[in-house]
Structures are given as C-alpha cells and as structure tokens.
C-alpha cells in the first residue's frame, strides 16, 4: 500500500511539473496571431525574479527599462507561472482597466487568495465583486457624511504630533503607520489605541502584512504560514467584536442609541464602520469580517506609505514646503483656537491636493495590478491570447517623459493645469475596481499635514 501511495504521488508530481513546463513552452508555438515581442526567460519561473527585483519607486527599474527599450511598451514574458503580457502603454492600460469583467478579469496569484480569503473584495470577481463594491461605496459615503469622522482623524493626528515633543529623533515611517492604524481601527471597529484588542489586532496584522509579500510557502514557520494563521486570529477577534455589538443592540432600548461601552468611550457613539456594516443584510458573516480586513489593509499600509513618501519629497522641495505652510496657516487663521477642521476647510487645501497627487504619481504606492484575458483580444497590431495574464504597469505611465514634462522630478505645480482624472494618472486603479476609499486616504494625509507643517520644521 505504501508503495502504491508513493507511486501515485510521484506520478502526480511529475504530471504537475510537466503541466507547468507545457504551460511555459506552448505559447512559443502558438498560431493565435502576432503576439507582442518579448522573451519567456527560464522554465517555470520565467522572468519573475527579475521583474520583482527591488528598485526606487520613483523609477521604473532596470527590468522594465531594459524590456521597453528592446521590445517596446507592450511585451510578452512569463511571470508568476503564467505567460504574460506586460503593458507600460497608457492606452492599453486604460483599455484594460475600463473593461473589467468584459474582456479582462482580476487575477491575483493563488497564494494571495490564501491570505486574503476568497470573499475579499480585492480578489473577488464578477457579480460578487460588484455587490461587495456597492456596499463599500455606500459605507464610505455614509462615513464621510459624519462629523465624527473628520474630528477623529484630526484628534489622532494631534496626539501623534504631541508625542514627538522632547524626542531627539523621530522615525517617520513608524509614526505614519501608527497614525494610519489608529485612525482605521477607530473608524472601522471603534477601538482606541489603549484597548487590549487594538494591540492584539496590530500584532497579528503586522504578521499578516509580512506574509502577504513573502515567498508563498505554506510550511510551518514561514512568514506565509504565519500570515495565514494571523488572518484566522484577526477574523476570530473581529467576530468576537461583532457578537459583542449584537448583544449591545439586543439589550438597547430601541431608541437608536446603542449602549456599547467601547463605542461610547471611543467617541463613535455607535456610528463607526462596523456599526453600519452590521445593518447590511446582503452580506454574509464571512464577508463582513473580510470587509474589515480589507479596510485595515487599505487604510493602514498604503496610506502610511503615501505619507512617508510625501514627507520625503516635500523635504527635498523648499518651495513646496513654503507654499504648504502658507496655505495651512491661512486656513488656521480663519478658525478658532481649538476649532476642528471641516469639509469646507479640506476643500480649500488646493495646493495640498496637488502635493498629494504628485506624491502618488512620483512615488507610486501601487506599481501594477494583476489581470487575465477572458478571450482573445486584438489591440493595435498584436493579440493578447485568452487565458494569458496581463499586467498594466501604472508606474510606467506615471513616469513616462512623453506624457509628463520633467516626469522624474517632484513638481506639484504641474497639477494646477493638468487634469487629475486623466488616462495618464491612475494611482488608485480604474474602472469598476478603482479604490473606493481613495478620498478618505487623502483626507487623512491632508489633516496630518495641516498640523505637521505648522508645528515642525
């Protein structure tokens, strides 16, 4: 019996390897049509390691520079165990993003699904994604309309900055992460930094983030395996918080006020993201938990990276810093001493918006996205075969000197005359998968900058 088991296992393994090899080499002999130029690299791995080689975010890196020089802005290769078309072309990128679920579909590598979960809005496709996204847009609109939202952001920003007093050195990346995490757990779960559940979620979330960008080996002790376990623990913590909220609802007097001690203590008064989410009957329990995880991921990591890059760029541009200070001093001069900022104040931050936009273009928080062709697609003079992965590289368009003058310079003033919603600027993706929380991230950064540039050199 043992011999038969090993024979079957060996045959299965060999079949798996042969399948990967055929998947790599068959495109070489395809008669589907004129494929883009390019090379497939090594068997199985293709050119994945070269493609993922670290480089400054305000450059396209050696790999893309070399391949675009040799093959043009659209080329074929083999990445993430699949034949792939890589696009650094503005028109093709826009075409891909605008044809979600028609010609192309979100297609992240399977290991990402293992960490995020199959019902995550980040990896869901088709009707499931549309349903989840509609809920997300509704929740974001509801949160934005509540005055507590802006007040919480500003108070947390001031608390972080006040904690710097008397310190000889501040590691800004760490402080930016602390700020964005405190904001997101407050807005989503109604938790304050002092509560034990906040510390528990943060510890597990840091483990989760390390595994998300690690080698996908689900072997005990690896970052990936630890991340999968951390996600389960976060899910359990969130489910416990949900159940506690439900008990509060059941014990309420029906007057619309929920006597949840945590909500009252944190100042949300039952109006945080989770409280609204609990009333959405179209979502399953797992989808609600996944919504919370997606919100933590989007509100913590990407926003803190944007803040860190922005401060780095502004620190190298005295003119931009001077104009930022002038704008925020002007806004503050029209407010009372302890009066909080509001939406009208945010809308007056024109140059701040230009600085944030330029940091997104120049710094590229999200470099590329994963898509898959749903059918044979003819674009210009070449064919994208059905089933092939397609990677629109957003950063390549943002740093293209033929599209942006002085593209490799941080120049916020370009956005005084340049449209921020054009094809050549897609920092939050595009089409039906455009980030629903993009405006919330900008508000966080703007309010933090408001106090930072007035309190510190």
Binding residues for heme: 435
- Binding-site residue numbers are 435
Residue 2 buriedness (CB in 10 A; 0-12 / 13-18 / 19+): exposed
């Amino acid at each position: 019996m043992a011999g038969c088991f090993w024979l079957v296992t060996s045959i299965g393994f060999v079949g798996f390897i042969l399948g990967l090899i055929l998947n790599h080499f068959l495109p070489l002999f395809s008669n589907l049509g004129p494929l883009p130029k390019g090379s497939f690299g090594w068997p199985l791995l293709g050119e994945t390691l070269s493609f993922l080689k670290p480089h400054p975010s305000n450059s396209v890196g050696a790999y893309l520079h070399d391949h675009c020089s040799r093959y043009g802005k659209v080329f074929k290769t083999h990445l993430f165990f699949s034949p792939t078309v890589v696009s650094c072309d503005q028109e093709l990128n826009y075409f891909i993003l605008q044809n979600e679920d028609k010609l192309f579909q979100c297609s992240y590598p399977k290991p990402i699904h293992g960490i995020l979960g199959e019902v995550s809005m980040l990896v869901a496709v088709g009707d499931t994604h549309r349903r989840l996204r509609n809920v997300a847009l509704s929740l974001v609109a509801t949160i934005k309309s509540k005055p507590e939202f802006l007040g919480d952001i500003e108070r947390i920003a001031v608390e972080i900055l006040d904690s710097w007093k008397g310190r000889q050195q501040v590691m800004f990346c760490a402080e930016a992460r602390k700020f964005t995490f405190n904001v997101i757990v407050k807005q989503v779960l109604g938790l304050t930094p002092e509560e034990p559940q906040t510390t528990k979620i943060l510890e597990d979330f840091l483990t989760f983030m390390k595994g998300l960008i690690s080698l996908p080996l689900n072997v005990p002790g690896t970052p990936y395996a630890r991340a999968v376990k951390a996600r389960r623990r976060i899910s359990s913590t969130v489910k416990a918080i949900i159940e506690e909220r439900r008990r509060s609802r059941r014990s309420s007097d029906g007057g619309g006020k929920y006597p949840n001690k945590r909500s009252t203590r944190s100042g949300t008064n039952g109006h945080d993201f989770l409280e609204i989410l609990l009333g959405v009957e179209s979502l399953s329990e797992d989808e609600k938990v996944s919504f919370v995880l997606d919100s933590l991921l989007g509100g913590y990591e990407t926003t803190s990276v944007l803040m860190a890059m922005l401060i780095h760029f502004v620190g190298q541009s005295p003119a931009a810093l001077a104009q930022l200070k002038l704008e925020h001093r002007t806004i503050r001069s029209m407010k009372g001493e302890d009066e909080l900022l509001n939406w009208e104040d945010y809308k007056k931050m024109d140059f701040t918006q230009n600085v944030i936009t330029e940091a997104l273009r120049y710094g590229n928080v999200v470099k590329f996205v994963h898509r898959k062709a749903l059918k044979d697609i003819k674009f210009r003079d070449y064919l994208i075969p059905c089933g092939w992965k397609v990677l629109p590289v957003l950063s390549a368009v943002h740093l293209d000197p033929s599209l942006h003058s002085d593209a490799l310079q941080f120049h916020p003033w370009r956005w005084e005359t340049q449209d921020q919603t054009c094809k050549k600027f897609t920092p939050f993706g595009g089409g039906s998968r455009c980030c629903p929380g993009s405006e919330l991230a900008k508000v966080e950064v703007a309010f933090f900058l408001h106090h930072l540039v007035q309190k510190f050199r």
